[in-house]
Structure 1
Amino acid sequence: MALSFFDQFLSPTHLGIPLIALALLLPWALLPTPSGRWLNNRLLTLQGWFVSRFAQQLLTPLNPAGHKWAAIFTCLIVFLMTLNILGLLPYTFTPTTQLSLNLGLAVPLWLATVIIGMRNQPTAALGHLLPEGTPTLLIPVLIVIETISLLIRPLALGVRLTANLTAGHLLIGLISTAAVVLLPLMPAVAALTAVILFLLTLLEVAVAMIQAYVFVLLLSLYLQENI
């Protein structure tokens, strides 16, 4: 039984072909394409409003040089949010529960922010490794600690997204199994469990959106330090 719960996190295959690529392409097939009309429909208007509000909120603290990342950050949050929410549907696979995929998104973007900082302002970028006013004896130790904290950032990004989604999916699986088992034995308890499952599902929808936002927000903060 415990093994079957974790089977939902295995990458699905058909005839030996992994279907994770299809799962990654599905969000783009579901999102509407903006048209050239004067007036769009409600879905396109809502999508445009969300993108503009997110870009405005995320890019306000950044310098004008960081506004070039608006398209990347907007596409990334829409992509992650759609993947996370689609993964809550029955008989679906959530690619963002795979640590390899999350690290594949986090490491290149984090490395790009570090390279930008080293190229544009190397003194300020290296200055983050040593706080001002540090005693001489603590300089080597603090440099090592700050370097480790810098290198662990992409791992923290990937693990945070993976752990939150995995824990939520496991909890939903456990509670739904308990509701099915308790239905013929204790219908009242099963009904209460079903209500808890419904509330947990609403919470997981919120977590799916919040975690996508936090992922992109932290990347924007890393970029802010290097521009």
Structure 2
Amino acid sequence: MALGFFDQFSSPTHFGIPLIIVAMLFPWILYPSPSNRWLNNRLITLQGQFFNRFTQQLFLPLNQNGHKWALIFMSLMVFLLSINMLGLLPYTFTPTTQLSLNMGLAVPFWLATVIIGMRNQPTAALGHLLPEGTPALLIPTLIIIETISLFIRPIALGVRLTANLTAGHLLIQLIASAIPVLMTTMAPVALLTLTVLFLLTILEVAVAMIQAYVFVLLVSLYMQENV
């Protein structure tokens, strides 16, 4: 029975074709494309206002050199937010519960920030490995610690997104499986459990949105250190 709880995190296949590709491409179909008209409908206007407000909030601490990443970061935010939210629907699959996918997103973005820092301002990029005013005896130790923390960043990005979504989905599955059993024995407890499940689902929606924002925000902070 315990293995059945984790079956929801295995990538589904149909006729030997992994459906994770469909799950990653399907969200883009749901977004309306802006037109060249002077006036758009309410949905496109609301979508544009959301994108503009989020972009302004995200790139406020960055200088002009980092603003060229606005389109990439905004696309990443919409992608993560879409697949996280759609994964909460019945008979769907959440690709971001796969550590391989999250690491495939985290490592290239982190590596891009490091390469940009080493190319544009190598002195400042290497200066982050040794804080100013460090005693001479602690210099080798601090360099090792800061180097390890630098290489742990992409792992933390990927594991954070995977762990939060996996834990929420698993908890919802555990509580939902207990409701039919309690319904036949203890109806009041089953009703209380159903209420908890409803509140947990709302919390999981918030977690799906927050984790997408946190992922992009941390990448932008890494970019801020190197531009």
TM-score, normalization: structure 1?
0.99
Is structure 2 residue 193 aligned with structure 1 residue 193?
yes
Distance between the aligned counterparts of 2:18 and 2:223, measured in 1? 34
- What CA deviation, in whole Å up to 9, does each residue of 1:194-219 have, x standing for no partner? 11110000000000000000000000
Determine the structure 1 residue equivalent to 2:160.
Answer: 160
Determine the structure 2 residue equivalent to 1:213.
Answer: 213
Distance between the aligned counterparts of 1:203 and 1:211, measured in 2? 12
Query: 1:29 deviation in Å?
Result: 1.0
- What CA deviation, in whole Å up to 9, does each residue of 1:151-180 have, x standing for no partner? 000000000000000000000001111112
Distance between the aligned counterparts of 2:122 and 2:180, measured in 1? 59
Distance between the aligned counterparts of 2:206 and 2:222, measured in 1? 24
Determine the structure 2 residue equivalent to 1:122.
Answer: 122
Determine the structure 1 residue equivalent to 2:103.
Answer: 103
Distance between the aligned counterparts of 1:166 and 1:192, measured in 2? 24
Once the two structures are superposed, the pairs formed by residues 62-81 of structure 1 within 5 Å of their partners are 62-81=62-81
Query: 1:80 deviation in Å?
Result: 0.2
Is structure 2 residue 24 aligned with structure 1 residue 21?
no
Which SS does the other structure have where 2:4 is aligned?
helix
- What CA deviation, in whole Å up to 9, does each residue of 1:43-98 have, x standing for no partner? 11111111000000001100000000000111111110000000000111100000
The count of residues paired between Structure 1 and Structure 2 equals 227
Determine the structure 2 residue equivalent to 1:144.
Answer: 144
Query: 1:181 deviation in Å?
Result: 1.3
Query: 1:136 deviation in Å?
Result: 1.1
Gaps (5+ residues) in structure 2?
Answer: none
- Between stretches 41-50 and 193-202, larger displacement belongs to 41-50
Which SS does the other structure have where 1:152 is aligned?
helix
Query: 1:135 deviation in Å?
Result: 1.1
Distance between the aligned counterparts of 1:19 and 1:7, measured in 2? 15
Determine the structure 2 residue equivalent to 1:170.
Answer: 170
Identity over the aligned pairs, expressed in percent?
A: 77
Q: CA RMSD in A?
A: 0.7
- Between stretches 26-35 and 213-222, larger displacement belongs to 26-35
- Spell out structure 1 runs of 4+ moving beyond 2 A: none
Which amino acid in structure 1 is aligned with residue 108 of structure 2?
P
Distance between the aligned counterparts of 1:206 and 1:45, measured in 2? 23
Determine the structure 1 residue equivalent to 2:9.
Answer: 9
- Between stretches 70-79 and 40-49, larger displacement belongs to 40-49
Gaps (5+ residues) in structure 1?
Answer: none
- What CA deviation, in whole Å up to 9, does each residue of 1:123-164 have, x standing for no partner? 000000001111111111111110000000000000000000
Distance between the aligned counterparts of 2:160 and 2:128, measured in 1? 23
